[in-house]
Amino acid sequence: MVKKNPKIIILGIDGLEYNFVKEWKLSNIQQKKYCEVDLSDYKVIVTPPIWGSMLTGSINQEVMDQWIKRSSITGDESAVNQVWWARLGNKILPKKVSFWIWKRFFVPKMGGNLFEETSDYIKQYSERIFLDSFDQPWNNGIPGYNRREQFLEEKEYQNKVFDEGWEEFHKYLVNDYNESVKQLYDCIERKENDIIFWYTKLVDSICHFCKIKPIDLMKYYLQLNQLVGSVQQKCPDSTIYVISDHGMKYEKNAVWWHSDHAFFSSNNGEIISKPTDLYNIVLKK
Ligand SMILES: [Zn+2]
């Protein structure tokens, strides 16, 4: 086998916000051309179904319906109307209490934790993904496709955030990120794969769980910018895409929500308008 750089490298950065990449002038992430990606096809802007739809080229409606049902109670991350009693409950009950009620009564009723249940929905539905069209694909776990194991590990730490604070989870996230970068570099070094899909949830989880403000977030974006730059240097002849599933919007008091757009950039000037377009541009290569 002739060893060479992959034809395509996709750097998937969960929660990467278009406005920050622009404002902080992160030119490596911007690449040759970059754009906002429209998410209006998604009734609920949430991680697993968006990554899943990039891989398969379409939104799984059954999975999306489960998320819509969930959002009608939790009220978050969506264009779905929250039912009145849940809205009232969220308003008057302390956060800890409403979270306890949610976990104790609603999660079992809705068939479990949806983040977990849909972390590998593509496998459950036997859907075809664009990586199947390559001889030697590599990935490190993509939400919606094959990320159940990592999700369960992350959940262990997440569960402790309420009681013990976020520091341990933060440490775990940074270690996990460093480990994933090492895996990516090893993979590039081996020169055995024709397509790489690397994924990190670093900046998404740090915003959600680690009491962070935009200014504190910048250092992680600078790290990511450096990472993209070194991948560009290592693989000058590869097509490189940077993509996110949604951005992050700062509210106040270290509270973040998913923004209504995602991010995309390429080193060859291509752009896309919807997450599902990734499927098509990869396959037409
Ligand atoms: Zn996400």
Q: What is the pLDDT of residues 255-265, one digit of tens each?
A: 898 999 999 99
CA of 46 to the centre of ligand 1 (A): 6
Reported in sequence order, the residue ranges of the chain that DSSP labels E, i.e. its strands, are: 8-13, 33-38, 137-139, 195-200, 239-243, 248-250, 256-258, 261-266
CA of 271 to the centre of ligand 1 (A): 20
**Quick check: 105 and 113 in contact, CB under 8 A?**
no
**Quick check: 213 and 254 in contact, CB under 8 A?**
yes
CA of 1 to the centre of ligand 1 (A): 37
| 273 within domain boundaries | yes
CA of 248 to the centre of ligand 1 (A): 9
CA of 20 to the centre of ligand 1 (A): 16
CA of 3 to the centre of ligand 1 (A): 34
CA of 143 to the centre of ligand 1 (A): 9
| 110 within domain boundaries | no
| 26 within domain boundaries | yes
Q: Which of 95-104, 121-130, 187-196, 250-259 has the lowest mean pLDDT?
A: 95-104
Tell me how many domains the chain contains: 1
- Its pTM stands at 0.91
| 76 within domain boundaries | no
Which domain does 231 fall in, by range?
8-58+122-283
Any idea what the CATH number is for the domain that residue 31 is in?
3.40.720.10
The tokens for 217 are: 């977030």
Percent of all residues in the chain with a pLDDT value above 90, rounded to a whole number: 70
User: pLDDT class for 210, splitting at 50, 70, 90?
Assistant: confident
Asked if pLDDT for residue 150 goes beyond 70, the answer is: yes
Asked if pLDDT for residue 77 goes beyond 70, the answer is: no
CA of 43 to the centre of ligand 1 (A): 14
| 89 within domain boundaries | no
| 69 within domain boundaries | no
Asked if pLDDT for residue 98 goes beyond 70, the answer is: yes
**Quick check: 51 and 145 in contact, CB under 8 A?**
yes
CA of 16 to the centre of ligand 1 (A): 9
pLDDT, mean over the chain: 91
CA of 14 to the centre of ligand 1 (A): 5
